[in-house]
Amino acid sequence: MEKAYKILARQKEISNKKAKELIDRGLVYIGDKKVKIARAEVDEDTHFRVEIPDDIEIIYQDESLIVINKPPFVDSYEIEKAIDGAKLLHRLDKETSGVMLLARDEYFFEKAIEEFKKRRVKKSYVAWVEGIVAEEFEIDLPILTIKGNRAISKIDKKRGKPAFTKVFPDIIQGKKSRVNVQITTGRTHQIRLHLSAVGHPIVGDEFYGSRTKAKRVLLHSHKIELLGNLFEAPLPKDIRRYK
């Protein structure tokens, strides 16, 4: 037995530090199972698979704004650091793909942030969820987020901040459903927590109750409308069709 990151480093001929980073970013698998702990003890003949994310695609850019089609497994802040002069207007969870906005000048940043604060930014997502969703519904449950090494959100009707989510049925496949989701608030893990709270956790989201293994949390930021401009990221393969 040996620590996972050390075996990975030898197999891929990379440093131990780089191997740990790949595991921490959620890019390393044994078969279809993600390796979650870099220091986990595994058999020395274990074969690892590394899934490097797609190149970051620019959907739109001008002197004030850059719109990214974020691939899964890339941290939002990594993208911000990679683009000189860019500043995140919002963030997506590491495993979430799709439309993400960054400002290129302070004036536009302040103007856009005001739109977010006044809930005038329209955000639409697509997700695969557990169970059958045949009718549209709304979720109005306040969310309390506890910051730490890893943010944790929970429903808290006394201390939570208002959070609103609308869910629309799209496709039913077996005991899974693809849904369109619209949010007017942007609480940490809002869609993931809200869907879990009503018995429809997002497929692959083991943190919030999904019992289905998947390569990632099957959530995609599909469209964002800001200041009269609509930006859209095409549905990736794993969102277009569930297996």
**Residues involved in catalysis:** 93
> In the structure encoding, which two tokens stand for residue 185, read together?
């608030």
- DSSP label of 202: B
Query: Rounded distance, CA 48 to CA 222, Å?
Result: 31
Beta bridge partners of 60: 67
- DSSP label of 234: P
Whether the CB-CB separation of 108 and 63 falls below 8 Å is answered with no
- Nearest Cα to 91, choosing from 142, 151, 35, 149? 151
CB neighbour list of residue 152: distance below 8 Å, 6 or more residues apart: 145, 146
> In the structure encoding, which two tokens stand for residue 126, read together?
């697509």
Query: Rounded distance, CA 113 to CA 121, Å?
Result: 9
Q: What is the CA radius of gyration of the chain?
A: 19
Query: Rounded distance, CA 89 to CA 99, Å?
Result: 11
Beta bridge partners of 164: 140
The residue assigned the tokens 């002069």 is 85
- Nearest Cα to 163, choosing from 138, 146, 137? 138
